[in-house]
């Protein structure tokens, strides 16, 4: 039996932040990481490294950030949690800097003002060694060891242990074989989302999880969610994931993920299904579109339709753009001299695609986007006409990075009971937690800011509770 004050499940940013913050308060901390390798993979190690809140600078006014969170989630975010992230994302980054984590300005856009160094934004494939996320985890792991904390690799947590309605530890299995148990005053579940569990994805994200690109480390199996649910913890709405529109060939060619993606083009053009009809509001952004593609009966029937000016404009925007990188990396790009010819090459009904493009072009000319089916918003991304040959079609797939729903938490990362009260002894942080992002609006707030803030607050609340506890 492992005896410890705090047991953290998961060795990513959220888990190591919670663990180190608790250890700095003098508590005995044990982190359990399922993977046995020293350089264990998790999304934090593969991250692009941008810390932001709703694509805004974390240094923005906290009240403005809070309103942005509530707006993008259509008010579905837990109010206290939204306020906590808006208020403490900047503090979490400053705390990380205090542990030796370095940041740079990664680009001209406000949400790239704090990017982990060395940067890994402009890359193809899975080159991660020595980059920001890798350095982040190594640095935090070393700091935890200096504080007396332990990181036990090859330990998979599988069941929470309860006494009188309180979580008092857990049980699991070692990678080399054999069961283990942990007794702890507090347990923090921070093992990432459930994006790699086909059963959970099928129930909440896509009817065909095998046709969704795992744009991640392959570590999000949903163990923590399942343990918490079995113990009676409340779950948030599990709809929604953070991801992007990837070239369909990315399913079989690792050079095509995490970048380049098709978001920049799709949000100024149209995305059609197997019937050559639009099925989503392109103006809501690439994350939203990826979710809508994943939700199709066949997620591999979607294509982005555009023309030469779009390819030379939005197609060349931002870091590592699809033009020319996508084709150079083996991505399929279909060209034609007419929309009807393009339809034939994509296997789409030509009259239907021509009608869809014509209706869209009329809406652009007349500004009548509400007349489209479905209507198209224009406040975030400017729609551009599709009129100039050659015409392009890119078959796409939904690339999923992390799921947004999970164990419902409050502003101090405390898990909640079924009736909405704090769950004694149980916390959740980062991708394992829910209540901030996702929902019907697919509201994207920011995975790194969420992980750092919820992890920091979990560690601090555990330390404060320990100080208040009777000797």
Q: Where are the domains of the chain?
A: 2-238+404-468, 241-400
Residue 122 is predicted with a pLDDT of: 56
Residue 281 is predicted with a pLDDT of: 98
Q: Is the pLDDT of residue 46 over 50?
A: yes
The hierarchical CATH code for the domain 241-400 is: 3.90.700.10
Label each residue of the chain as H, E or C: CEECCEEEECCCHHHHHHHHHHHCCCCCEEEEECCCCCCCCCHHHHCCCECCECCECCCCCHHHHHHHHHHHCCCCCCHHHHHHHHHHHHHHHHHHHHCCCCEECCCCCHHHCCEECCCCCCCCCCCCCCCHHHHHHHHHHHHHHHCCCEEEECEEEEEEEEECCEEEEEEEEECCCCEEEEECCEEEECCCCCCCCHHHHHHHCCCCHHHCEECCCCCCCCHHHHHHHHCCECECCCCCEEEEEEEHHHHCCHHHCCCCCCHHHHCCCEEECCCCCECCCHHHCHHHHHHHHHCCCCCCCCEEEEEHHHHHCHHHCCCCCHHHHHHHCCCCCEEECCHHHHHHHHCCCHHHHHHHHHHHHHHHHHCCHHHCCCCCCCCCCCCCCCCCCCEEEEEEEEEEEEECCCEEECCCCEEEECCCCEEEEEEECHHHEECCCECCCCECCCHHHHHHHHHHHHHHHHHHHHHHCCC
Total-model pTM: 0.96
The tokens for 59 are 């240094």
Q: What confidence tier does 121 reach under pLDDT thresholds 50, 70, 90?
A: low
Residue 124 is predicted with a pLDDT of: 44
Q: Is the pLDDT of residue 95 over 70?
A: yes
Average pLDDT of span 267-280: 98
Average pLDDT of span 56-71: 97
pLDDT tens string 148-193 = 999 999 999 999 999 999 999 999 999 999 999 999 999 999 999 9
Q: What confidence tier does 439 reach under pLDDT thresholds 50, 70, 90?
A: confident
Q: Please give the residue that has the higher pLDDT: either 123 or 322.
A: 322
The hierarchical CATH code for the domain 2-238+404-468 is: 3.50.50.60
Rounded distance between C-alpha atoms, residue 138 and residue 130, angstroms: 10
Residue 467: count of CB within 10 angstroms of its CB: 10
Q: What confidence tier does 123 reach under pLDDT thresholds 50, 70, 90?
A: low
């Amino acid at each position: 039996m492992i005896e410890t004050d705090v047991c953290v499940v998961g060795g990513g940013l959220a888990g190591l932040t919670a663990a180190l913050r608790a250890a700095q308060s003098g508590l005995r901390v044990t982190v359990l990481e399922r993977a046995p390798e020293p350089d264990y993979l998790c999304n934090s190690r593969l991250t692009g490294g941008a810390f932001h809140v709703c694509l805004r600078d974390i240094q923005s006014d906290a009240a403005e950030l809070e309103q942005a969170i509530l707006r993008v989630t259509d008010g579905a975010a837990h109010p206290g949690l939204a306020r906590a992230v808006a208020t403490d994302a900047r503090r979490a980054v400053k705390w990380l800097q205090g542990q030796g984590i370095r940041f740079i300005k990664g680009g001209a856009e406000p949400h790239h003002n704090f990017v982990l160094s060395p940067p890994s934004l402009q890359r193809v494939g899975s080159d991660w060694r020595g980059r920001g996320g890798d350095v982040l985890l190594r640095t935090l792991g070393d700091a935890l060891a200096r504080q007396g904390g332990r990181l036990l690799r090859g330990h998979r947590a599988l069941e929470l242990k309860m006494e009188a309605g309180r979580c008092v530890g857990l049980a699991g299995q070692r990678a080399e074989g054999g069961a283990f148990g942990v007794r702890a005053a507090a347990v923090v579940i921070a093992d990432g989302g459930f994006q790699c569990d086909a059963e959970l994805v099928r129930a909440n994200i896509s009817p065909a999880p095998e046709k969704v690109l795992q744009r991640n480390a392959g570590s999000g199996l949903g163990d923590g969610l399942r343990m918490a649910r079995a113990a009676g913890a409340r779950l948030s709405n599990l709809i929604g994931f953070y991801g992007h529109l990837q070239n369909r060939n990315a399913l079989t060619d690792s050079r095509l993920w995490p970048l380049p993606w098709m978001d920049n083009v799709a949000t100024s053009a149209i995305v059609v299904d197997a019937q050559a009809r639009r099925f989503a509001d392109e103006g809501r952004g690439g994350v939203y579109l990826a979710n809508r593609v994943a939700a199709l009966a066949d997620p591999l029937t979607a294509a982005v339709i555009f023309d030469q000016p779009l390819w030379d404009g939005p197609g060349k925007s931002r870091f590592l753009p699809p033009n020319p990188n996508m084709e150079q990396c083996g991505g399929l790009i279909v060209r034609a001299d007419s929309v009807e010819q393009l339809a034939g090459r994509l296997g789409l009904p030509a009259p239907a695609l021509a009608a869809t493009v014509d209706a869209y072009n009329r809406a652009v000319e007349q500004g009548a986007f509400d007349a489209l089916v479905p209507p198209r918003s224009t406040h975030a991304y400017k729609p551009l006409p599709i009129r100039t040959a050659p015409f392009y079609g890119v078959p796409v797939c939904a690339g999923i990075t992390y799921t947004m729903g999970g164990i419902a938490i409050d502003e101090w990362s405390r898990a909640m009971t079924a009736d909405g009260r704090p769950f004694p002894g149980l916390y959740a942080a980062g991708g394992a937690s829910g209540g901030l992002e996702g929902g019907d609006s697919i509201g994207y707030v920011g995975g790194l800011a969420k992980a750092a803030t919820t992890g920091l607050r979990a560690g601090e609340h555990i330390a404060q509770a320990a100080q208040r506890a009777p000797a």
